[in-house]
Amino acid sequence: MTAPKRPAGGESAFQIETILGGRRMRRNRRTDWSRRLVRENTLTVDDLIWPLFVTEGENVTEPVPSMPGVFRHSVDRIADQARIAADLGIPAIALFPNTDPARRDPEGSEALNPANLVCRACREIRDADLPLGIVTDVALDPYTSHGHDGLMDGETILNDETVSQLVEQSLLQAEAGSNIIAPSDMMDGRIGAIRAALDANGFDDVQIMSYAAKYASAFYGPFRDAVGTNATLIGDKRTYQMDPANTDEALHEVELDIAEGADMVMIKPGLPYLDIIRRVKDTFVRPTFAYQVSGEYAMIQAAAQNGWLDGERAMLESLMAFKRAGADGVLTYFAVDVARKLTGKS
């Protein structure tokens, strides 16, 4: 038997080569072209949904202090923002209102106003005839004086009464031009009720992206600043949003929403719940989305501004984590920055 040829490098190199048996994982990492060739997951512009905040007034663009680089835009400017997304090839935007406190009441009546911020913004974008989808949030918290997602009797959230109002809200948004209704309230049975109402009223092509597993998280603070609910929220949302300790419960929630007619499901927040994304995707093999929420965005931005990490690399790495976990797309405030990076467009 011929003895194996000893590689240059002496006895230690020979021992390593013998141990590895020729299996050197680093060969595929040596060059950029090789890394790209064997890459398991790819982030593209098609994976992005850009959340936008709408506010009252005219010609308004105002910063959200707790979310560097994020702004609230008045309705007359929202189509311009949507056009930026469309020009970059971003498939969809998601609208969230910063409702005037004077228009908020315990019943969230403004949610049923056909001329509320979201409905007006939908019409502006629809009239601009842009090649992108409009996702609209269905919940009462931007419209209630107590900051909760549902109607209340004392300190108790009224599930079924809330669902009835969410159905009306969904119909108004669909009529205004929403392409994807996205219920974020976590009330039981709302997906089935909304689907039935949409179909019965001629909106059978309107999709539903359910916030199927939405956790009672500490990462929502900057978002609540952006929509003005931090100042109004009484108590917390743990009686309807999910316990961060639970994973099996998320699968039950997703299963129910799919059975009720959800076209797509979402997990929120994102990075702290990558395990949920993976379990949901593996179990149901349905279009699965993640929301990289305001707190996740703000942490990366704050650390980057302080020079504690490379913001661009952290942004891209965090989004790749969603793809690796099984997400088909991500709602992220980084959407435009990422799209510009990926496409080379300004």
Give catalytic residues, as residue numbers: 214, 268
Paired strand residues for 266: 211, 289
Which residues have a Cβ under 8 Å from the Cβ of 199 and sit 6 or more positions away? none
In angstroms, the Cα distances linking 103 to 33, 139, 197, 288 are: 56, 15, 26, 34
Q: What is the DSSP letter of 164?
A: H
HSE (side-chain half, CA atoms, 13 Å) at 75: 16
Helical segments of 201-247, H only: 221-227
Q: Per residue in 216-226, is it b (16+ CB within 10 Å) or e — as a string?
A: ebebbbbbbbb
Measured in whole angstroms, the distance separating CA 111 from the mean position of its chain's CA atoms is: 21
Backbone angles phi and psi of 194, in degrees to 5: -70, -45
Which residues have a Cβ under 8 Å from the Cβ of 159 and sit 6 or more positions away? 150, 187, 188, 189, 240
Can you spell out the DSSP letters for 166-187? HHHHHHHHHHHT-SEEEE-S--
> What tokens appear for 13 in the block?
């190199």
Which residues have a Cβ under 8 Å from the Cβ of 214 and sit 6 or more positions away? 184, 186, 241, 242, 266, 267, 268
Given a contact cutoff of 8 angstroms between Cβ atoms, the answer to whether 75 and 124 are in contact is: yes
The CA R_g of the chain, rounded to the nearest whole Å, is 23
Measured in whole angstroms, the distance separating CA 239 from the mean position of its chain's CA atoms is: 22
CA distance 179 to 122: 9
CA distance 121 to 115: 9
Tell which residue, 111, 90, 248, has the closest CA to residue 184. 111
